[in-house]
Amino acid sequence: MAGTPEHLPGPVADWRQEAGLITLRCVQGAALRVHVLSDRILRFRFSPDGYFPDDFSYAIDPDFQAQPAALSVSATDAELQIRTAAAVCRIRLDSLHTAIEDLDGKTIVEDDKGFHWMEAEQGNPLVLMSKRARPGERYFGLGDKSCAANLRGKRLQNWNHDCFGYSETTDPLYRSIPFYYGLHAGIGYGVLFDNSFRTWFDFAMERDNATSFWAHGGELDCYVICGPSLLEVAAQYAQLTGRPELPPRWAMGFHQCRWSYFPEARVREIAATFRRLRIPCDALYLDIDYMDGYRCFTWNREHFPDPGRMIRELAADGFQTVVIIDPGIKIDPAYPVFREGLERQLYLRRTDGPFAQGKVWPGECYFPDFTRPEARSWWAELFRDLIRMDGVAAVWNDMNEPAIFDVESRTLPDDVRFDYDGHPCSHARAHNVYGMQMARATQEGLQRFGYPKRPFVITRASFAGGQRYSAVWTGDNVASWAHLRLANLQCQRLSISGYSFTGSDIGGFNDLPDGELFVRWLETGIFHPLCRVHSIGYHDFGNSAIDEDAVAANAARSIRNQEPWSFGEPFTALARKIIGLRYRLLPALYTAMRQYVTRGTPVLRPLYFSFQQDPGAWDREEEFLAGDHLLVCPVSKPGTVVQELYLPAGRWYRFHTGEPLEGGRLHQEPALPGRIPMFVRAGAALPWGPVRMHTGETGLEPAVLRVYAPSSGTVRSEWYEDAGEGYAYRSGEFLLRTFEVEGDLRQCTVRQLREGRYPAEASTLKIELYGLDAARFACEADGQPLRAWRNGPCIECWAPEGFGTLRLSALP
Ligand code: MIG
C-alpha cells in the first residue's frame, strides 16, 4: 500500500482463541484482538503492526468485571464467527471487516472501510475506523456537544476546551466523552472509542454512508455495546466506565453560587435572605476571591477572618459551603503549597526539562501532574485543613482543561510530559484526562478528610469515566433563551453519556437574564441533579486581567445580582414556588440518582432515547424523562402561554391537575411561568415530599405517595430513602420500596415490596390515587377495610406505611 495515503490491514494469516480473547493476525502485520466482555459488550483493539501496548485506560472502571459469556467461535474460508448469547460478530478473513448482528440476523453495526491508518505528523499514525451509516440511522450522545440531538451530518472533535460564552456551533467544549449511540431499524447500540488523544467523529457528514472516527495517536481501541434498548446500552456503558458513589442528599438540593460572594458579611447576608424569604437552599459557593491572591488552599483573611467559624455557623443554618480550587499553583517562593510541589517535583515539565508554565488567575503558575499517583496523593493531602479545620463540605474544580490565558491554544503546549500512571506521554495524550484526574485527586482528598461524609466534587473538564469522581456543570454559558434550550439539551446528552450528575449555570453565567428567563431557567434546572444558580457577577470578561478597583466599586454597587429575589415580584414568588417544587420532587430525584449509581440508568432520559420505537418521539429534543416516570417539557421561549409537546403512546396524567391524557400525539399544555409542563406515566407511584428549607430540615409532614391508575398491565416504581449522608446505607440502613401498580380505571392494586431497614418517616403513609373513574369506591389494605375519600382529582387514604397490598375499587 506504499504510496497511497491509507493503509488497510489486508487478509488474515491466522487466528486463535484463548477463552474470551480472540486474536487475528494479518499477513501484512496488522492485528485485531476481540475481547468478549459480556454477551453484549465486545472490545476491538486494532494494531497496524501487530504490537499492542500495555493495556491501560482511564475511561474503563477498574472495578468493571467482564462477565464470562458463553461463546462459540467458528470459522469458514471467508469469515470468523464469534457467537454470544445476544450477538454474532462476523470478521471477514480477507479484510478484517467486522459486522455485528443480533440473533435474528439483523445487523446491529458493521464496518464500512473498517480499521485503517495513515502516516501523520510527529510519528504518530492516524488510526481510523469507519462504520456503515445506513439510511435513516440516527446518532446520539458524544457527551458534551451543544448541537442538535441527532448527530447525523455532523463532524465533531474532542479536545477539552475553555470556551467562555460558547454557542450551539462551538466545538469542542469542556469535556471529552468519545462515546456515541446508533439507532437503526429500532435496534440501538453504543460505541466507545477509548482514546484520550484529540479525537474526531464524522457522522455521515463527509460521506453519507459512513460514520468514521479517528485520533492522532494511540490505539484504535473501541467497545461496541449491543442493545437493542438504548436505555440498556446506557446502563451497560455506565457499568463499563463506572458510576459515582451515592452523593450526599444535600448535593441534590438547591445551590446558590456567584463569582464571587465576599466578604463574609455578604455571604451571611445571602444565607439570611434565603431563610428570611423562605426560599429553600442547601449550599453556597465561594468562587476564586475567597483565596489570598488566587493561591489555592489559602484564605483571604481580610474578607474571611475566621472561615471555620463562618462555615460552621452556616452549616448550623443548613448551608453547606463549597469552595473552588483551580489547578494552577502560583509561582511564589513564599507560598508553602508552591514550595512543597516544587520540592517533591510534582509539577509538569516540558520535554527539555523546565517546568511547564502558564498564566492563569494567580499570574504565572506551575501545574501538578494529576496523572501521577504521588501528585494526586499530595493534592488530596492539601485538603486537610479546608475540610477538617474549616469544615468545607465540597469542592468545585475549574480551569482544568487545563485553561491557560494569553496563548492561542488556550492550554499547555503539546510537548509537556505526563506520567499517565506509569505510561509516560505528551500533552497530546494526557490533555483530555487532566481535568478528570484532578477531580479524582480532589475526591480522594474529600474521602480522606471528610469521611464518613460522602464526597461531592464538581468539575468543568473531564473525560469518559470521569463521572466516577465528580459531577459536572456545562461551563460558561450565556443568559439567553437559546442557552436555556442548550442547557436542557446538554444535560440530557451528558446524562446518557455516563454523566447523570450534571447541571447548567441557572440563569446563565455571562450577561444578565430578566426575571422571566431566570424563572424559566429554574423550571428546567430543578430537574437536573446539579441544581445551581451561578453568574459572572461584576467581572467583565474579555480582559483577562481583573481590575481590582473596578471589582470593588462594582461589588459595592451590588450590580448584576442573580439570586432568586433579584428580579422583584412576581419573580421572587415564582422562584420560591419552583425551588420548592425541587424539594417536593427530591425523594423521586434521589431515587433516580440511586438507580443511576447502582444500575447505571441515566437520571435524565431524552424522549428520542426512551421511546426508540416511537417515530413521533425521534425528533423531540426538549422533552425528557426525569427518572422512570416523570415527563417534562421545559419552556424555552419568551412569552410562552401554551407549550406544544409530544406525549408518547399510552396514558399519561397532567401533573398539575391529575387529569388523564392519551399519548401518541402532540399536546398543547398551559404553561404560564410557574406551571411547568409535567406529566406522569400511568401506573407510576411517585413520592411527593414536603418543601424543606434545606434537605436537613426535619419535623415536617412526611412525603405522600401519588399513585396514577394504569390503563392496563403492571407498572413498577421505586422509592429509595436513607440518612442522606454517611455510609450506613451500605450496611442495610436504607429503605427501598418497590411498588407494583396494576389495574384499570375501575380498580387499582398497589403491591409494596421492601428492602433495607432504614425506618420510614412515619407509621402511616398518605396515598393519593389519581385516575380512578368512580363516584363511590371501596378501599382495603392487606384485607382490612380502609377509609378513603375524594379530594378533587384524587382519592385519598392513609395506609399503614408497611402495607403489602392496597386495593381501591369503584363501587357500582
Ligand atoms: O476564567 O472562577 O467556568 O464558573 O465563576 C474564569 C471564576 C474562571 C470559570 C468558571 C466560572 C467561574 C470563573 N471561572
For residue range 356-392, what is the model confidence (pLDDT) as tens digits? 999 999 999 999 999 999 999 999 999 999 999 999 9
C-beta contacts of 102-108 below 8 A and 24+ residues apart: 102/187, 102/226, 102/228, 106/185, 106/187, 107/184, 108/187, 108/189, 108/224, 108/226, 108/227, 108/228
Distance in angstroms (rounded) separating the CA atoms of residues 470 and 501: 8
Ligand 1 binding pocket includes 628 (Cβ within 6 Å) = no
Ligand 1 binding pocket includes 324 (Cβ within 6 Å) = yes
Distance in angstroms (rounded) separating the CA atoms of residues 192 and 222: 5
**Looking at the predicted structure, is the pLDDT value of residue 118 above 50?**
yes
Q: What is the CA radius of gyration of the chain?
A: 27
Ligand 1 binding pocket includes 588 (Cβ within 6 Å) = no
Q: What distance in angstroms lies between residue 420's CA and the mean position of ligand 1's atoms?
A: 27
Predicted confidence band at 712 (pLDDT cuts at 50, 70, 90)?
Answer: confident
Instruction: Give the pLDDT score at 553.
Output: 54
Average pLDDT value for the chain: 95
Q: What distance in angstroms lies between residue 398's CA and the mean position of ligand 1's atoms?
A: 7
**Looking at the predicted structure, is the pLDDT value of residue 126 above 60?**
yes
Instruction: Give the pLDDT score at 745.
Output: 86
CA atoms within 13 A on the CB side of 44: 24
**Looking at the predicted structure, is the pLDDT value of residue 5 above 90?**
no
Could you tell me if 394 and 408 are in contact, meaning their C-beta atoms sit under 8 angstroms apart? no
Determine the 3-state secondary structure of 549 from DSSP: helix
Predicted confidence band at 548 (pLDDT cuts at 50, 70, 90)?
Answer: low
For this structure, is 701 an active site residue?
Answer: no
476 CA: nearest ligand 1 atom: 3
Task: Pick the closest to residue 708 from 769, 630, 767 (CA basis).
Answer: 769
Higher-confidence residue of 125 and 277: namely 277
What's the rounded mean pLDDT across residues 691-708?
Answer: 96
Q: What distance in angstroms lies between residue 399's CA and the mean position of ligand 1's atoms?
A: 7
Scan for cell 506520567, then name that residue. 419
Grid cell for residue 19: 477463552
Grid cell for residue 216: 492522532
Instruction: Give the pLDDT score at 554.
Output: 52
Distance in angstroms (rounded) separating the CA atoms of residues 593 and 498: 12
* pTM recorded for the entire structure: 0.96
pLDDT digits (tens, 9 = 90+) for 199-235: 999 999 999 999 999 998 999 999 999 999 999 999 9
Distance in angstroms (rounded) separating the CA atoms of residues 152 and 706: 40
Instruction: Give the pLDDT score at 69.
Output: 79
Ligand 1 binding pocket includes 287 (Cβ within 6 Å) = yes
Q: In this structure, are strands 87-92 and 777-781 parallel, antiparallel, or unpaired?
A: unpaired
398 CA: nearest ligand 1 atom: 10
Instruction: Give the pLDDT score at 543.
Output: 43
Q: How many residues does the chain have?
A: 812
Look at ligand 1, atom 8, and give the residue with the nearest C-alpha. 399
Determine the 3-state secondary structure of 659 from DSSP: coil
Scan for cell 457528514, then name that residue. 205
For this structure, is 398 an active site residue?
Answer: yes
Instruction: Give the pLDDT score at 119.
Output: 86
Distance in angstroms (rounded) separating the CA atoms of residues 105 and 130: 21
Ligand 1 binding pocket includes 80 (Cβ within 6 Å) = no
DSSP annotation string for 417-433: EE-TTT--EEHHHHHHH
**Looking at the predicted structure, is the pLDDT value of residue 640 above 60?**
yes
Ligand 1 binding pocket includes 465 (Cβ within 6 Å) = no
Instruction: Give the pLDDT score at 264.
Output: 97
pLDDT digits (tens, 9 = 90+) for 767-781: 999 999 888 999 999
Among 160, 260, 476, the mutation site with the greatest number of ligand 1 atoms within 8 A of its Cβ is 476
What's the rounded mean pLDDT across residues 635-648?
Answer: 98
**Looking at the predicted structure, is the pLDDT value of residue 544 above 70?**
no
Q: Which of 111, 219, 401, 768 is catalytic?
A: 401
Ligand 1 binding pocket includes 460 (Cβ within 6 Å) = yes
pLDDT digits (tens, 9 = 90+) for 474-510: 999 999 999 999 999 999 999 999 999 999 999 999 9
Could you tell me if 330 and 360 are in contact, meaning their C-beta atoms sit under 8 angstroms apart? no
What's the rounded mean pLDDT across residues 760-766?
Answer: 93
**Looking at the predicted structure, is the pLDDT value of residue 545 above 50?**
no
Grid cell for residue 143: 457527551
**From its phi and psi, is residue 271 left (phi > 0), alpha (psi between -120 and 50) or beta?**
alpha
Report helix, strand and coil shares of the chain as percent, to nearest 5.
20, 30, 45
Distance in angstroms (rounded) separating the CA atoms of residues 671 and 805: 37
Distance in angstroms (rounded) separating the CA atoms of residues 525 and 579: 9
